Amino acid sequence: MRIATNTFVQSTVSRLQNLENQQQTVQNQLISGQRINSMEEDPTTAARILSDQQTQRQLIQYQENSTQAQGIAQAGYDALEYLQDLSEQAQSIVDFNAFEDTDSAVFSVQIDALIEDALRTANGQYNGDYLFAGTDTAQEPFSLSYTDNDGNAFLNADGDPVQRYVYNGNDSGREIAVADGVAISPYTDGDTNQSIADFLNAMLDYSDAVAAGDTAAIKDASNVVQDAENVLVDGMSNLSMKQFRMETLESSNAAKYSALSSEVTALRAVDLNEATISMLNIQNAYSAALSTTSMVMDTTILNYI
Amino acid sequence: MSGLISNVVYNTQALNNHSAGLQVTGNNLANVNSTSYARQQLKNSTTPAEAAGGLTRYTIEQIRDAVLDENIVRENADLGSLEAQNDVLNQLNSLFAESLQENLSTSLEYSTDSDSTGLTAALDSFFAAWSDYSVDPSDSTAQEIVYQSGEMLVEYFNTMSSRLDEIETDVNTRISDDVDEANTLLNEIASLNEQIVRAELGGNDTATTLRNQRQEIVEELGKILNISTDEQANGTLIISSTDNTGATVTLLNHTTVNSLTNNAGVLGLADGTTLGLSSGSLYGYSAVLTGDIADARSDLDLLAANLTSSVNTAYGADFFDAAGLTAGTIALDSALTADSIYADLNNASGNEIALAISELASSEIAGLGNTFQGYTITTASAIAASYSNNQTQLEYQELVSTMLDEQRTSISGVNLNEEVTNMMVLQRAFQATSRVVNVLDQLLSVVVNELKA
């Protein structure tokens, strides 16, 4: 093949440009530690990385939701536990073996104080939301009323109107997405919320019985309080189960997130040894191209004239 | 046997030939770095009648391979097409590219929301805002974030649509520019055709410089559209292309130019023919306009339409403007405000609605056959793949063009050593002929001055 003078220059420039591009790519890989820095370098792998990262972001959202949901569930559990404590305190106030009529008024006042405490706890909030109101956030969930939710008047044994605690919330439970396709309500259900009203009313009846000093009535009322307390314990158990489920899902999410991180790293990370050797090869090829061309171009017939 | 005077005449002719040869070599040396230059060669010819006396004539030839030139024009058209597509696909890829540089923690326990960019991230932020809001629909801050993230998402769609419009406008401008450029080049070739025919009327000399210029322009034209050339005996060049039925259409016949026209993107000729291009930058721009850009817009519009309908259905009212079913027109409903979201959702069903919208993030949308984010990634990935394929093809085509250029250079290019050798040969020949002339001069001197007595 006949070689024109410019062929050396043109092919050398072209070769050097090519080597420079390769060097730039490997340099970027070594600096960033990433094999792929933009989508067009490997669209299929980039799509997998993006999909994995999108799932990771979703898992982060679930993690944040789960943290909040567990906080709510824990607050609900603590409140129910406190109500249980109050119940036990109320029941322990009356010592039937040493009960005297003169104690009635004092005990009744103590029980009323416990009821107030219980009401405050039942109407407690977490992050500005009532813990035991279902999804009805417009008003306090528990209040004293002369009528029930259907408008029927509360009457005592004598037929006189009396105030009882009513539940103003609803049966719905606000759900929070904590995993893919899983939304859990960290709140107590409608039945549990209603049982809190029953508990408060049982405490009211218990207080009235203590005030009246009727030992038999006190025992009966105490049993009713105990029954209501048991329902609260069921509510606590239910919240514990939810917390356990959320923790399990959180662990599962964390494992999934770690697996995705590993996959993304494996897909993106550059093999440093391979890249370094590649860089050395390119540098050698660059030097060789330069020196070979300069040697060839250095020798011309002009040197011999 | 010829006489002294005849010998002087013959040797003078020889001196002329050597002198012309030196001029050709000098010309070649002067153009050693001119890319479009084809080296010239002096060709001596002797007629039978002249042979006895050694009288020679010479012609200057240009060393060109017509088949190779034709190949280069054809490959240039493919190169032009790929370069045009590459330029546009690069812009399109930048517009749709999703960031891979996200620094998410390797452990979920220590993760926080990343500051990633791209449409997928914008969609994620929107649905994440709803997820946050579902936790507490009475939270006025969360409701404000839902509104803001909706606005940001809408702006993202609108901006992408505007950028697509700009890319489309840019491509259309380039098509118009290329049509103008092609017409200018055709007119220049027409002018050169005429000059070459005139210059070569005598038939002895070829108009090498003009032919070099013409070839260079033909190759430039070949980058714009697929052409074929046919050189006539008188040196003129007929340039043709293909119409939309695949039939050959003449763009230039001697000096008659059938100009290219651009009628709202439909490329044709002044005689009313519609062009059916298969390569060249005009084909490249048209192909990417009706292919990748149209597909990208269609995907983006479909995404916007499905987002509007899905979110509105889940919201139970118009969160997005129901009429905004394209990326360019998607908008929050005009009646929607942060407060109206609060009013709509701060009730018993607010949590369910917010949760339903947040769950759209991981739901397969019937109209897309994928999740919103999955569809976005697929679209971005398809564009990146198209760009990547184009780059690979372009690199290959550049290699082919370089190889053809090297082949042509090996035939038509100037080699310094060769030219210097030629120069030395011609100088020696010139010197030798000069000596002969000196001897003849001395002989004539003897004949004229010393034999007169």
For the cut 90, the answer to whether the pLDDT of residue B248 exceeds it is: yes
Answer whether B120 sits within 8 Å of A54, measured CB to CB: yes
For the cut 90, the answer to whether the pLDDT of residue B257 exceeds it is: yes
pLDDT tens column, B327-336? 999 999 999 9
Residue A20, in any domain of the structure: no
User: For B106, which of A41, A61, A261 is closest by C-beta distance?
Assistant: A261
pLDDT, position B312: 95
Contacts 24+ apart (CB under 8 A), B330-336: B330/B154, B330/B157, B330/B158, B330/B304, B331/B154, B331/B158, B332/B147, B332/B150, B332/B151, B332/B154, B336/B147, B336/B150
For the cut 60, the answer to whether the pLDDT of residue B279 exceeds it is: yes
Q: Tell me which residue of A146, A143, A151, A147 sits closest to A167, measured CA to CA.
A: A143
For the cut 60, the answer to whether the pLDDT of residue A113 exceeds it is: yes
Answer whether A261 sits within 8 Å of B104, measured CB to CB: yes
Closest CA in chain B for residue A300: B417
Q: Which of A30-44, A204-218, B104-118, B163-177 has the lowest mean pLDDT?
A: B104-118
Residue A44, in any domain of the structure: no
Q: What does the pLDDT average to over B248-254?
A: 94
B275 pLDDT tier (thresholds 50, 70, 90): very high
Mean pLDDT of chain B: 89
- Between these two residues, A294 and A261, which has the higher pLDDT value? A261
Residue A29, in any domain of the structure: no
Query: How is B33-47 classified by DSSP, letter by letter?
Result: T-TT---EEEEEE--
Q: Which residues of B touch A264 (CB under 8 A)?
A: 104
pLDDT, position B116: 63
Neighbours of A76 (CB within 10 A): 24
Which one of A1, A3, A5, A29 would you mutate to disrupt binding with B, by most B Cβ within 10 Å of its Cβ? Answer: A5
For the cut 60, the answer to whether the pLDDT of residue B80 exceeds it is: yes
Is any Cβ of chain A less than 8 angstroms from the Cβ of B140? no
pLDDT, position B110: 58
Answer whether B138 sits within 8 Å of A7, measured CB to CB: no
Residue A68, in any domain of the structure: no
Q: Distance (Å, rounded) from C-alpha A234 to C-alpha A242?
A: 12
Return the half-sphere exposure (C-beta side, CA atoms, 13 A cut-off) of residue A151. Answer: 0
Q: Which of A156-170, A291-305, B151-165, B311-325 has the lowest mean pLDDT?
A: A291-305
Q: Tell me which residue of B131, B150, B147 sits closest to B353, measured CA to CA.
A: B131
Range of the domain at A98: 74-261
Helix H or strand E encompassing A285: helix A272-298
Q: What does the pLDDT average to over B342-370?
A: 87
Q: Which residues of B touch A262 (CB under 8 A)?
A: 106
For the cut 70, the answer to whether the pLDDT of residue A49 exceeds it is: yes
| CATH number, residue A256 | 1.20.1330.10
Closest CA in chain A for residue B140: A128
pLDDT, position B1: 52
Q: Which residues of B touch A130 (CB under 8 A)?
A: none
pLDDT, position B46: 67
Residue A273, in any domain of the structure: no
Residue A94, in any domain of the structure: yes
pLDDT tens column, B103-152? 667 676 655 555 567 888 889 899 999 998 888 777 788 889 999 999 99
B119-135 vs B372-412: helix axis angle to the nearest 10? Answer: 170
Mean pLDDT of chain A: 89
Six-digit token string for B238: 């007929």
pLDDT, position A241: 95
B425 pLDDT tier (thresholds 50, 70, 90): very high
Answer whether A47 sits within 8 Å of B109, measured CB to CB: no
User: For B413, which of A7, A42, A59 is closest by C-beta distance?
Assistant: A7
Residue A149, in any domain of the structure: yes
Answer whether B355 sits within 8 Å of A183, measured CB to CB: yes
Q: Which of A277-281, B95-99, B345-349, B411-415 has the lowest mean pLDDT?
A: B345-349
For the cut 60, the answer to whether the pLDDT of residue A111 exceeds it is: yes
For the cut 70, the answer to whether the pLDDT of residue B47 exceeds it is: no
B450 pLDDT tier (thresholds 50, 70, 90): confident
pLDDT tens column, B202-211? 665 568 889 8
Given a contact cutoff of 8 angstroms between Cβ atoms, the answer to whether B118 and B93 are in contact is no
- Shortest Cα distance, chain A CAs vs residue B381, angstroms: 5
pLDDT, position B101: 65
Residue A156, in any domain of the structure: yes
Given a contact cutoff of 8 angstroms between Cβ atoms, the answer to whether A286 and A23 are in contact is yes
Angle among Cα B68, B74, B80 to the nearest 5 degrees reads 130
For the cut 70, the answer to whether the pLDDT of residue B173 exceeds it is: yes
Q: Which of A83-87, B159-163, B230-234 has the lowest mean pLDDT?
A: B230-234
Q: What does the pLDDT average to over B362-391?
A: 94
Q: Which residues of A touch B417 (CB under 8 A)?
A: 5, 300-302
A177 three-state secondary structure: strand
Domain count, chain A: 1
For the cut 70, the answer to whether the pLDDT of residue A253 exceeds it is: yes
